[in-house]
Structures are given as structure tokens and as C-alpha cells.
Chains A and B, each alone.
Chain A
């Protein structure tokens, strides 16, 4: 487990870009954390790091947004999924099997249908109001600076 502390949205952005540098085709990133811990901020930064030029907006309402880039980027928010079957209905398996990168916010809600080797990022509030703690399930995933 790698633990990082961000003191601001700017620092979260930097962490997101550093994560993006380590990603490759077929990777699945699972984000968990309460509302307001910065999941969408981190997702936007990762997308930016992947070279996505389009504005990455929240997929809460439509469950998934697709972005074209050198590597396609599929941005999920599964908060509104009540039943795992709904994921099959939206073609989740095809996204997983595709040659893009999937990022899933609120991934803990669909654990049963996730592949085994996902990159999990747990986001939490820190001590100060602006602080955020990020824990990645791969030790030394990004270089600290």
C-alpha cells in the first residue's frame, strides 16, 4: 500500500498526472471514498495525464463517459447502480475487454464483477479541511516528490 497526502486540489492534480504516467492499456482503476474526497478531481487529472483534451465531466448521471485519446478512457460512476445486472446491461464487460483504460468511481459497489488485478485508490479526508489521504494498493506505484 502506498500512502500519499494531498494538501490541496493542485496537489491532487499532480498525483493524478503521476498516476496517469504509470497506466497502460487494459488497466482498471477503482476509486473509492466519500463524497467530496476528490474522486472526480483525481479522475480529471488522470485523464489529463493520459492526454485527453476534452473536458472530463462527472459521469454520475449517465454512469459512463467515453473519451477518445491515444488510449481510450472510460470514466464510470457507479454510485447509482442498484443491481449488478445493470452493469451488464450497459456493456461493462465490453469496456473491460476493450483496449482502453477504465476508471471507476464508487467501485466498491460492484466489487463482485471487477477483475482481480485492479489498481485500487482509497480516498479519505485528512486532518485539515483541505487535506486528502490517498492510498494505492500497489506499493511504490508512483515516485514520491
Chain B
């Protein structure tokens, strides 16, 4: 990446094609001026089979190579845009699965080269945070961000646009992963987040006293491996005693323990950094208990709380388009040597 002089938009406003393939979802979006989402196509939401004429049996979500061209075309078509209208390409360059990232990056590079337009690599977590700018036009740094998803659990301080300080992260499992694993144990299936969220509404969150792992008193890091094991140990020991497992109670108690730690850490971090705004992002930001408790606590402390709509919580390319635009406007542009970086640091 190098700071470069930026070109004026081809039409009145900048048009970005953004691509995201860091994990399971293949996604492409067309975003105008980094703010207006003209299209946001996510592989799990469209019927790829139909595009193949309905003859291909199972196409796994991770088959980015099969999906990418169909998704890019769909993104342009829904936005009623042509390749020639695009001003630059944004793409997730990390962190993530290297083979998955490479498919997005190679596509982005090919388009950048063929159309002779710039390329902007984006950090996946930066994208998640930027999802909020797409829906909250009044949001401006400084703020504190809580990024909670299947693969990430981060507390990040943003003191100005594009400037990120990671205050804490998970030391073992991501929070969404803990939900998935406990869901698996309770036989609720995948993805675990929505399943546990739903079942918990019928359970007593105080039924089982699962441990709250806060680590060192001044740490904003997380650890969710212990609570997963605690849930397993609880279930095994109840079974040994011949007791019936009340799944709803276990789900509700687990969820409460996890959410309490997250909320406490986020609020303490906001206080430490003297931030009056907290921004949630990532798939777990859709959890109803997290939203409810965060709303209550933030109201008590007079902290403004933002989070994206469900579609922009999960992995999507629109958020990458927004982040790419912000980087582009600062002249942060990549060359064709942009590489997938599985361990990219924020």
C-alpha cells in the first residue's frame, strides 16, 4: 500500500465494486461514495443453483471459485451498473482463510488490471466497523467498537477515521464460536447464535451459575473456551446423576454469562478511553440479549449505542466497499502485488 494521488470520479460520485471472501460467504457489492449501498449480494442469500440452470446438486458455501463471477455479475446487475462505471475495486485482504481470500483478491486484481482502475485492500474487521457508517450517517469517531462474530471478538478504540487501536481480543474461541459449540452440544444445530438466542427466551438465565471469565482485572481480552467446557461438564455430570437436562435453562444461563462479560468489558473500555459512543459490529451484534443489555447499560451511562441491521452484521461486501472508500479518499491505494494476508493485523 502506498499513498497516491486520487482521481476524480468518472461520473458525479465514486462507484466502488467491493468483494469479500474471507470465510464462508462469497459477497460482492456496489457502493456509491462509500455510503449508499446499490447492491449487496451474499452467496447464502441467493440461489446459486438457479444460475447454473438448476442441475448442480450441493454447492458448499465455501466454494468461492464457483460463486464469485455469478455474485459479481449479480451485484452489478442489481445496481444497474457496468464495469466501465466503476472508479475502484475494494477487497478484503485479511484476516481469513488464505485460499478463500485469494479468490476474492485475484478477482479484484483481474478487474483492477482489465479496467485500469485502482485497487484497495481492506481489513475484514475494519469492514465490520465501517458497516455502521452505511446506516448511521451521524456516526463519527472517536468511538469504541465491539466486534463480535463467529471468528472474531475484539474491542477496538477508534480515535479518528481509519485509526484503530485493539484494546482486547479473544485468547481462544471467538464468542460466536462458543455459541456454535454449545448449540452443538444442546443439539440445536448451526448456526448456534440465533438458535441459542431463541431457546433462551424460554429459559431461566440464573438456573446454572456458569463461570464468568474476566482474566486479569485490567485486561480487555476474552476467553470463551472455559465456559464451553463448563457447559459440557455440567451436562455430563447431570447425565451421570440421571437428571434431565433443561436445554432452555442451560442455553439462557450460558448466554447470560457470556453476554455479561462482553458488556462489562465494553463499558469499562469505553470508560477507560473516555468514549461516549459504542459501536457494535459482527454477527453476534444481532443477539437480542446483547442488544437489550447494551441498550440498558448505555442509557444508564449516557453512552450512545450504534449497531448495524442484521444483513450488515454478518459478513458482506457492502461494509468492505465503505471501508475501501474511506481508505481511497486518503490515497491509501494498493498495487497488483496485493497479497492475501491470513494474519493481517488491524
Contacts and interface: CB of A to CB of B under 8 A. Distances in A.
B225 A90 contact: no
Given A41-B225, A62-B342, A125 B236 contact: yes
A36 interface: yes
B200 to A, nearest CB: 20
Contacts of B173: 40, 57-58, 60
The prevalent SS among residues of A at the interface is: loop
A116 interface: no
A67 to B, nearest CB: 8
Contacts of A61: 23, 150-151, 174, 176-177
Contacts of A36: 185, 228-229, 232-233
Given A58-B173, A65-B343, A35 B181 contact: yes
30 contacts: A35-B181, A35-B185, A36-B185, A36-B232, A40-B225, A41-B225, A55-B171, A57-B172, A57-B174, A58-B173, A58-B177, A58-B225, A60-B173, A60-B177, A60-B181, A61-B23, A61-B150, A61-B174, A62-B96, A62-B342, A64-B97, A64-B98, A65-B342, A66-B98, A66-B343, A83-B60, A89-B63, A90-B97, A90-B100, A129-B236
Contacts of B228: 35-36
Interface in A19-57: 35-36, 38, 40-41, 44, 55, 57
Chain A interface: which size bin? 20 to 34
Contacts of B225: 40-41, 58
Interface of A: 35-36, 38, 40-41, 44, 55, 57-58, 60-66, 82-83, 86, 89-91, 125, 129-130
Nearest to B149: A61
A57 B171 contact: yes
B73 interface: no
Contacts of B174: 57-58, 61
A91 B229 contact: no
B127 interface: no
Contact of A57 (B22, B170, B180, B181): B170
Contacts of B185: 35-36
Contacts of B187: none
Interface in B48-77: 60, 62-63, 65
Contacts of A82: 60
B141 interface: no
A91 B232 contact: no
B184 to A, nearest CB: 7
A-B pairs with lowest CB-CB distance, top 10: A61-B151, A36-B232, A90-B99, A58-B173, A36-B229, A62-B97, A61-B150, A129-B233, A55-B171, A60-B177
